[in-house]
């Protein structure tokens, strides 16, 4: 935690004593919280090993059905990601267009879908569209809602990424006589993609989390599956199954978040992309043709 040097000087004897006292008090606070949770769990007999064993007991079929539900979650997320990336790219291109008759309507579409709650969109697709004669099944209702919302958010990320590239880059491209599409495809997009990667990945984490809204319309993703297992087995295993479901979400999302952090670090370390005085000190010359 080197960043904390902003706040604290190197401590003297008095300061060190204070830190020791604070650390001790902090330990007491944390211990008190843990003790309260354990006590609450024990008081309602939730700590029995047999209850937690259900999560790993293959004979009960619980791990299998949770695994299948995880696949359902991932399937909805993957297809939603794919569609929203493709549509988002088109929308971003539209927003960057030189023609007002393309730009304006696309602006409206993006702002609209970004501005309303995702759940309202999903409900509209699921409950509203059938009244208008369009029937999608549960899976596609969820994916359609996720896509409509995330394509707008991703379009904004893409656009911001392209605009963040130094103007000299595109000017140099035009000076060489490239067309706008060429400047985009050859100069701006390759640079923007690396810069946007962390933001894109964290939006994809959000999308993955939002698949849990499938629960609301009855799509059998992790949460809905967990609920139906508990309805089947009775409340005895309720807490254990729910904690298992939450742990699965956290595990999947945490690994994606770590990926985002890794990409962020990698990108900001590359002196070709971001000017970083420290990196410049370490590596004064950027060798030509690296990578």
Partner 1 sequence: MTAIVENLDLYWSGFLTTLSLSLLAGLLAFALGTLLAAFRVSPFPPLQALGTFYVETFRNTPLTVVWFFAVFALPLIDVTLPSFFVAGVVALGLYTAAFVCEAVRSGINSVAAGQAEAARAIGLTFTQTLRLVVLPQAFRTVVPPLGNVWIAMVKNSSIGAAFAVTELTAVATRLVNTYPADVIAIFAGSATGYLIITIPSGLMLGVVERKVVVLR
- Residues forming contacts to partner 1 in the complex (CB under 8 A) are 1, 3-9, 11, 19, 22-23, 25-27, 29-30, 33, 40-41, 43-44, 46, 115-120, 123-124, 127-129, 131-132, 205, 209-213, 215-216, 223, 227, 235, 238-239, 242-243, 245-246, 249-250, 253-254, 257
Cα gap 69→77, rounded to integer Å: 12
Q: What angle do CA 242, 51, 27 make, to 5 degrees?
A: 70
Which residue, 65 or 253, has its beta carbon nearer to partner 1? 253
Cα gap 178→207, rounded to integer Å: 37
**What is the nearest approach in angstroms of partner 1 to the Cβ of residue 77?**
11
**What is the nearest approach in angstroms of partner 1 to the Cβ of residue 289?**
36
**What is the nearest approach in angstroms of partner 1 to the Cβ of residue 234?**
12
Is residue 216 within 8 A of residue 122, CB to CB? The reply is yes
Which residue, 193 or 254, has its beta carbon nearer to partner 1? 254
Which residue, 102 or 124, has its beta carbon nearer to partner 1? 124
Tokens of 164: 């963040």
**What is the nearest approach in angstroms of partner 1 to the Cβ of residue 246?**
5
**What is the nearest approach in angstroms of partner 1 to the Cβ of residue 65?**
17
Virtual torsion, Cα 37, 42, 46, 50, nearest 10 deg: 130
Burial class, 151, CB count within 10 angstroms (exposed 0-12 / middle 13-18 / buried 19+): buried
């Amino acid at each position: 935690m080197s960043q904390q040097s902003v706040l604290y000087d190197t401590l003297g004897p008095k300061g060190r004593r204070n830190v020791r006292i604070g650390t001790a008090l902090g330990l007491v606070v944390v211990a008190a919280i843990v003790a309260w949770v354990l006590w609450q769990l024990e008081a309602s007999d939730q700590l029995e090993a047999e209850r937690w064993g259900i999560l790993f007991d293959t004979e009960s079929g619980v791990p299998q059905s949770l695994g299948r539900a995880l696949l359902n979650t991932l399937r909805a997320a993957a297809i939603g990601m794919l569609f929203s990336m493709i549509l988002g790219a088109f929308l971003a291109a539209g927003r960057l267009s030189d023609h007002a008759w393309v730009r304006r309507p696309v602006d409206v579409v993006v702002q609209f879908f970004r501005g309303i709650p995702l759940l309202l969109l999903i409900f509209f697709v699921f409950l509203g569209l059938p009244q208008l004669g369009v029937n999608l099944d549960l899976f596609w209702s969820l994916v359609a809602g996720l896509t409509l919302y995330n394509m707008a958010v991703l379009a904004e990320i893409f656009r911001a990424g392209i605009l963040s590239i130094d103007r000299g880059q595109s000017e140099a491209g035009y000076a060489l006589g490239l067309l706008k599409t060429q400047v985009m495809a050859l100069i701006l997009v390759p640079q923007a993609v690396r810069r946007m990667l962390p933001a894109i990945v964290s939006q994809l984490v959000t999308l993955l989390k939002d698949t849990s809204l499938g629960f609301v319309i009855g799509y059998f993703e992790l949460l809905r599956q967990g609920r139906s297992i508990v309805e089947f087995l009775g409340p005895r295993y309720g807490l254990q199954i729910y904690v298992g479901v939450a742990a699965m979400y956290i595990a999947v999302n945490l690994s994606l978040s770590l990926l985002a952090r890794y990409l962020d670090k990698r990108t900001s370390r590359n002196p070709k992309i971001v000017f970083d005085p420290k990196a410049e000190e370490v590596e004064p010359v950027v060798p030509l043709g690296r990578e």
